[in-house]
Chains A and B, each alone.
Chain A
Amino acid sequence: MQVLSSIGSQLVNVCSALLLLTCFAIVAQRRLSACVDLFALQSAFLVVTAALVAYLTGNQHIYIAAALTGVIKVIIIPRVLKKIIDRLNVKRELVMYINVQAGLLICGGLVMLAFFISQPIIPLGSLLTRDSLAIALAIVLIGLFTMIARQKAVTQLVGFLVMENGLFLGATAATHGMPLIVELGVFFDVLIAALIAGIYTNRLQDAFDSVDTSRLTALKE
Chain B
Amino acid sequence: MIAVVVLLVAPLLAGGLSLVVRRSTLLHVINLISLGALVTAEFVITRTVLRDGPFTALGQLVYLDALSTFILFIIGAVGLACSFYMRSYMDEQVAQGVIAPTRLNLFFFLFHMFVLAMVVATVANSVGVQWVAIEATTLATTFLIAFWRRRESLEAGWKYLILCSVGISLALFGVVLLYYSSLQVLSDVSQGLNVTQLLPVADRLNPQVLKLAFIFILVGYGTKVGLVPMHSWLPDAYTEAPAPVVAMLAGVLEVVAVYAILRVRMIIDHAVPVDFTGGLLALLGFASFVTATFFILIQHNYKRLFAYSSIEHMGIAMIGFGVGGALGTFGGLFHLLNHGLAKSMAFFAAGNVHRRFHTVEIDHVQGVAIAQPWTAFGLMTSGLALSALPPFAAFASEFQIVAALASQGVPGVGFTGTEGMVTVALSDQFSRVALASVFLVSAVLSFGGLLYRMTGMVWGIPREGIVRGEIWTLGHLPIIFLAGALVGFGFFLPQPLQQLLEQAATILVIQ
Contact = CB atoms under 8 A, between A and B. Distances in A.
A125 interface: yes
A192 B158 contact: no
A137 B173 contact: yes
Interface in A115-131: 117-118, 120-121, 124-125
Given A178-B193, A181-B126, A196-B143, A124 B206 contact: yes
A174 B176 contact: yes
Contacts of B180: 121, 124-125, 133, 174-175
Interface stretch (B95-103, B149-157, B339-347, B382-390): B149-157
Q: Helix, strand, loop or mixed for chain B's interface? A: helix
Interface string B168-194: 011011011101110110000111110
Given A174-B180, A208-B151, A213-B158, A167 B172 contact: yes
Interface in B131-172: 131-133, 135-136, 138-139, 142-143, 146, 149-152, 154-159, 161-162, 165-166, 169-170, 172
B403 interface: no
Given A182-B132, A189-B136, A218-B151, A160 B206 contact: no
Interface string A107-149: 0000000000110110011000000010011001001100100
Nearest to B181: A124
Contacts of B495: none
A171 B176 contact: yes
A166 B279 CA distance: 29
A216 B209 contact: no
Contact of A207 (B138, B142, B151, B206): B151
Contacts of A216: 155, 158-159
B15 to A, nearest CB: 15
Most buried by A among B128, B157, B170, B193: B128
A208 B151 CA distance: 7
A14 to B, nearest CB: 22
A179 B176 contact: no
A205 to B, nearest CB: 10
A160 B161 CA distance: 11
A111 B135 CA distance: 26
B418 interface: no
A13 to B, nearest CB: 17
A43 to B, nearest CB: 16
B208 A189 contact: no
B139 A192 contact: yes
Q: Is the interface of A mostly helix, strand, loop or mixed?
A: helix
B269 interface: no
Interface string B457-491: 00000000000000000000000000000000000
Interface residues of A, number: 48
B239 interface: yes
A189 B159 contact: no
Contacts, number: 137
A170 interface: yes
A113 B192 CA distance: 28
Nearest to B215: A117
A121 B209 CA distance: 6
B129 A219 contact: no
Interface residues of B, number: 55
Contacts of A21: none
A200 interface: yes
Nearest to B149: A203
B241 to A, nearest CB: 12
Contact of B154 (A124, A160, A204): A204
B236 interface: yes
Contacts of B304: 221
B128 A219 contact: no
Contacts of B175: 178, 182
Given A178-B128, A207-B151, A219-B239, A193 B135 contact: yes
Contacts of A121: 177, 180, 206, 208-209, 212
Given A160-B165, A163-B166, A219 B209 contact: no
A156 interface: yes
A179 B182 CA distance: 12
Interface string A173-211: 011101111100110110011001100100110011000
A200 B161 CA distance: 10
Contacts of A19: none
Contacts of A179: 126, 128, 189-193
A200 B295 contact: no
A153 interface: yes
Contacts of A188: 132
Contacts of A37: none
Given A178-B193, A181-B128, A182-B129, 5 more contacts: A124-B184, A156-B162, A185-B133, A200-B146, A200-B158
20 contacts: A121-B180, A121-B209, A136-B173, A140-B170, A160-B162, A160-B165, A175-B176, A178-B175, A178-B193, A179-B126, A179-B189, A182-B175, A185-B128, A186-B128, A193-B135, A200-B142, A200-B146, A200-B154, A208-B154, A219-B155
Q: Which 7 A-B pairs have the closest CB atoms?
A: A182-B128, A185-B132, A216-B155, A219-B236, A189-B135, A163-B169, A218-B152
